[in-house]
Amino acid sequence: MGKDKLRRFRENETFPNVLQPTREELLSGAFALRGAWRAAYFKDQNPITLELGCGKGEYTLALAEKHPDENFIGVDIKGARLWRGAKTALENHTTNAHFLRIPIELLDRAFGHAEVDAIWMSFPDPHIKYRRSKRRLTHPDFLRRYQKILRPEGVIHLKTDSEFLYGYTLGILQAQGHAISYASHDLYRTASDLGVVTSIQTFYERMYLSADKPIRYLAFKLRL
């Protein structure tokens, strides 16, 4: 492991906006914030939005800046990437952007029933090979985890450049009877202004757009 990566891991441990519960804490039920994020951590009653697989936290930070009266948590297991978002938030004094380093498959061990108001998935790995299908963030196993933590009427947003993941997710949602609020196979050609959906663009999204690659978008609510 490179020295720079080790340095970032050490810095993550000192950042007040980064939480890194152990797998044992989550599985044993010892993670104290589960069900108590508003009261014990944020100390307010503002809505909580998660970005799953947040990487360097571009979307988390942009959402937080546009909505200062809401709380945003970027979730990722890769600490060296997450470090960038956390450090930028501290440098910019963005106090409503925080980061949680956990495996996403343990998400329902970190949040309590109906504790989350919305979920974003910005360009997740589509895991096209069948043997990796259970790693897709819209696989039914993950949807069941989201059902446990989302409030009624909570919205899940998916932006992707992957035609495969877009079609796969549409099929899963329709088969399971979930409510699709918005669907576009070419977002910037079919919608003029969807607020943060179109106004926030990550580095990779801008790269895809410059290559004239369609961006797909889904907004949906899970049947609880």
pLDDT tens track for 99-113? 999 999 999 999 999
> Quick check: is 133 in a domain?
yes
pLDDT of residue 96: 98
> Contact, 157 vs 219, CB < 8 A?
yes
The percentage of residues in the chain with a pLDDT greater than 90, rounded to a whole number, is 90
Inform me whether the pLDDT recorded for 1 exceeds 70.
no
CA 28 to chain centroid: 24
Query: Among candidates 68, 125, 126, which has minimal Cα distance to 94?
Result: 68
Q: Where are the alpha helices (DSSP H) in 31-162?
A: 58-66, 79-91, 107-110, 140-149
Residue 76, in any domain of the structure = yes
Residue 182 within any structural domain of the chain: yes
Residue 9: which H helix or E strand, with range?
helix 3-14
- Cα 68 to the chain's mean position, in Å? 18
pLDDT at 180: 97
CB 41 within 8 A of CB 115: no
SS3 62: helix
Instruction: Establish if 54 belongs to a structural domain.
Output: yes
* Residue 211 placed within a domain: yes
Q: Which domain holds residue 66?
A: 35-221
Single pTM value for the model: 0.95
- Domain membership flag for residue 57: yes
Residue 8, pLDDT > 70, answer yes
Active site residues: 125
The number of folded domains in the chain is: 1
pLDDT exceeds 80 at position 191: no
Q: Edge-to-edge strands of the sheet including 71-76?
A: 18-19, 97-101, 71-76, 48-52, 116-122, 150-160, 216-221, 179-184
For position 139, what pLDDT does the model report? 98
User: Per mean pLDDT, which range of 5-9, 16-20, 142-146, 212-216 is the poorest?
Assistant: 5-9
Does residue 142 lie within any of the structural domains? yes
Q: Which of 114, 111, 145 is nearest to 33 (CA)?
A: 111
Would you say residue 26 lies in a domain?
Answer: no
Looking at the chain, the number of H-run helices and the number of E-run strands are: 10, 8
> What's 211's domain CATH number?
3.40.50.150
Q: Taking residues 120-131, what's their average pLDDT?
A: 95
